[in-house]
Amino acid sequence: MRTVKVELFKFEELAEKSQEKVLEKFRYEFLPEDWSSCVIEKWEEKLEEMGFVDPEIKFSGFHSQGDGASFTANGIALHLLKEYMREDHLKLSEKELTYDTYGFVVTRINHRYFHEKSVMVSIHEQAEPLTEELESISILEIKLYTVVYTLCRQLYEELGDAHEYYINDTYLKEQMNVEEYEFLANGEMYHP
């Protein structure tokens, strides 16, 4: 029989270099699988309240080209959305509100990426506006693009903040204390 004596350390007792090693090793250890669900559910509700019908959110992130967030919608209720379009260049005129019947939609045009430019605003394919309305409808589409792109960027920023919360050093240290992890001096986790 042999007896081995091992010195064990809590995270905060480790040398700085060992702490850095542990933090990098555990960076994604405590990231819950559903970490984004609260943000997505909140945004789906928000988008519905704003007038986007059946919004569906997709995203990828957070450190690669093409990362971003966007949403599609089976319709846009202009009479609801107008409450959120208060900036002078976005305000909807009474005439533009009559175009609600054309059924604007937000569709995905790129299935590889999910940033804001991977979606487009258009009139539902069955709608046929009158020729004299085309210019006004084009102006309205530009306004809707501006709103959709802005919302996509805000959504991505909020998802990024939520992701950052779960991988930041403070959260990791708290979780290691909660789990009562113990380490060897070199930063390797102790397994009894």
pTM of the model: 0.85
Please list the pLDDT of the chain residue by residue as tens digits (192 residues).
Answer: 888 888 999 999 999 999 999 999 988 888 889 999 999 999 999 999 999 999 999 999 888 888 999 999 999 999 899 888 888 788 888 888 887 766 889 999 988 889 999 999 988 766 666 667 778 888 889 999 999 999 999 999 999 999 999 999 999 999 999 999 999 999 999 887
**What residue ranges do the domains of the chain occupy?**
34-170
Distance, C-alpha 140 to centroid of its chain: 26
The answer to whether 5 and 141 have CB atoms below 8 angstroms apart is no
Q: What are the beta bridge partners of residue 148?
A: none
Cα(99)–Cα(124) distance, integer angstroms: 11
In angstroms, the CA 158 to CA 126 distance is 35
